[in-house]
Amino acid sequence: MATLSPLSFLATTKVSASSPSLLPSSSRKPSKASPRIAKVSCNASNPQGEPQNNRRDVLVGLGGLGAAAATFSYNPLALADAVATDVHACHKPSLPPGAKPIACCPPNYEDKEPIEYVIPKYTSLRIRTPAHDYADLDKYTKAITIMKSLPDDHPHSWTQQSRIHCAYCHNSYTQVGHKGVEMQVHFSWIFLPFHRWYLYFYERILGKLINDPTFALPFWNWDAPEGMEMPAIFTDRRSPLYNALRNQNHLPPTLVDLNWNGRSTGVDGSGDVEANLATMYRQVYEVKRPLCFYGKPYRAGDKPLSGSGNGSGSIELVPHNTVHSWTGDKTQPNIEDMGALYSAARDPIFYCHHANIDRMWSVWKSFGREDITDPDYQNASYVFYDENLNLVTVKNSDAFDTKKLGYDYKQLDLPWLKYKPTPRRTKAQRHGRKVKKLDLPFTLKDKIVSTVVKRPQTNRSQLEKDEKEESLVFTIQFDRTKHLKFDVLINEEEDYKWANPKYREFAGSFVNVSHAGQDPGATETTFTVGITDLLEQLDADDDDTIVVTLVPQYGDQVIIKDIKISFEECRLR
């Protein structure tokens, strides 16, 4: 099925009764001092029948219920809260080595208390269209030209818009109620909703600057062959959409490499179309559980990337991170602009890349996949300047339906749905070299290594498989300021150097884009790859063990602290 169906709307969204104009201010009400939502828990029963004394497990377990069936009630025993952004504690960012010092905090934040954002009642939709077939280029360049002409300290200026990203991912903002704890919008389940809000206000502000509330952003359609070049609207040197700090070998007609290894896998330095499509199938269609796709829980007080249990979802690692690294300028210290989180949003192509990431969220939901009902997810909140210069607080649950936000994506074919990876070899063709179990922890640097991992359970029933994804979970430690990519192959003891994602033996990749945060240097996280379908296709579902091969592709070393198979990991922390 290759079309987008209307999204089911899972949460109650506040919609004001105001006009669809750009000025919904009459419908605003000041938010309470803290944008945090009261501690809530869920009294719906747990589909796994697990003991309900661990609140977090119970909440996350709800992912298995139809969201409509879930009802929420106050629970005085609740322990955590949703993360919320403390604008008043904004401070200088932590930056990776080699980055020029910059400020990231929004202007005037000391004086303004954020108010709760009320979504205008939109009567027509802004339809975002592919950048290679974009009819509104004149409007877009005009709006960006005006944005770039605003003084740096104007909240709508180009400088300020790009600094939003720096503030939210380099330890400028802290969390409400958790003094000094970094607010970080990557590496967890808030990755998709935060970026949806960010683009929403960017689009509204651009529309306001040209007095056209119907203005809609383009998206970089890198998931289809016709959109795999860097979109030409960004590569014209005379255009305000141009940026010089990009990989100069990747200008059109080079195709994007969604599996970018620091060098191209395809012929002529281009990405390989089939490998790109198979990558989309594996990272989007095949990832059925929301916590595997979105990322793992991140709650108030949690330090990002500083302990096992947190981690990016499949969409963030690949293609999100790989497209960032593919686009950035390799001659810069941190692959600026797109290759480092603090600088990425200085490149106009950032917003086009993220529009397609956002579209992939809508596409994924259109497959009938459940959403996350945990209140700590639903209530996570951020602060932005809206198009009317109000400092506003917005939360995840108001961002689930793009139509409530007044936009949608042009419906396009999804060619990758036909590109399910296929086995490179049959079981009989495998050489069966004996592989030893490596002692943990071990360091992965420039050598390919193989180890054996025991499976706790084989031949699960279809029902069990539908409920829980068999997952390979790595606990890894690495330097977050450095670039890193390694691939994971299953049952490839020998001649595995091909590492091509169009083959089924390729299970996934861990990719880090340079960033810095509260804790300098080494950082620990989990990396999860689903292998249920993969093991069936490799005819390995009755094997007690699997061979796991790790292929370092570029960057710094990584310490592999643990490798295990779990049937829970995408759902529980």
> Which residues lie near ligand C2O (CB under 6 A)?
165, 169, 186, 195, 320, 324, 341, 344, 354
Ramachandran sector of residue 490 (left: φ over 0; alpha: ψ -120 to 50; beta: rest) = beta
Question: Least separation, in Å, of the C-beta of 247 and ligand C2O?
Answer: 16
Instruction: Check residue 27 and give left, alpha or beta (phi > 0: left; psi -120 to 50: alpha).
Output: alpha
- Closest CB to ligand C2O among 361 and 506? 361
Tokens found for residue 85: 């952004």
Q: Is 192 or 490 the residue whose CB approaches ligand C2O more closely?
A: 192
For ligand C2O, give the closer residue by CB, 24 or 328. 328
Closer CB to ligand C2O, 83 or 169, in the complex: 169
Nearer to ligand C2O, 56 or 482 (CB): 482
Query: Residue 489 forms beta bridges with which residues?
Result: 506, 549
The kind and range of the H/E element at 158 are: helix 158-169
Which structure tokens are listed for 200? 């929403």
For the bound state, the minimum distance from the C-beta of residue 341 to ligand C2O, rounded and expressed in Å, comes to 6
DSSP per residue, 250-318: GSTTSBP-TT--SS-SSGGGPPPHHHHHHHHIIIIIS--SHHHHHB----TTPPTTBSBTB-B-HHIII
In whole angstroms, how large is the CA radius of gyration of the chain? 23
**Cα–Cα distance between 353 and 134 in angstroms, integer?**
14
Q: Alpha-carbon distance 181 to 454, whole Å?
A: 37
Helices (H), 304-424: 314-315, 322-327, 349-366, 375-378
CB of 93 to ligand C2O, least distance (A): 14
Shortest Å distance, C-beta 198 to ligand C2O = 8
- The residue (of 302 and 347) whose beta carbon lies closer to ligand C2O is 347
Q: Confirm whether residue 170 is marked as ligand binding.
A: no
Q: Is 186 marked within a binding site?
A: yes
How far apart are CB 320 and ligand C2O at their closest, in Å? 6
Measured from the CB atom, is 156 or 195 closer to ligand C2O?
Answer: 195
First CA to last CA distance, the chain: 33
* The two structure tokens encoding residue 493: 């003891």
DSSP state of 215: -
State in angstroms the smallest separation of the CB of 393 from ligand C2O: 19
320 among annotated binding-site residues: yes
- Residue (of 53, 527, 35) closest to 321 by Cα position: 527
431 annotated ligand-binding residue:
no
Cis peptide upstream of residue 556 (ω within 30 degrees of 0): no
Is there a binding annotation on residue 156? no
For residue 536, what are the contacts with CB-CB under 8 A and spacing of at least 6? Answer: none
Instruction: Return phi, psi of residue 224, to 5°.
Output: -130, 145
* Closer Cβ to ligand C2O, 185 or 558, answer by number: 185
Q: Give the nearest distance from C-beta 350 to ligand C2O in angstroms.
A: 7
In terms of CB distance, is 58 or 349 closer to ligand C2O?
Answer: 349
The answer to the question of whether 354 is labelled as a binding residue is yes
Q: How far is the CB of 344 from ligand C2O (least distance, A)?
A: 6
**Cβ distance 328 to 246 under 8 Å?**
yes
* Least distance in angstroms from the C-beta of 404 to ligand C2O: 22
Q: Which two tokens stand for residue 77?
A: 């025993």
- Binding-site positions for Cu cation read 165, 186, 195, 320, 324, 354
- Binding-site positions read 165, 186, 195, 320, 324, 354
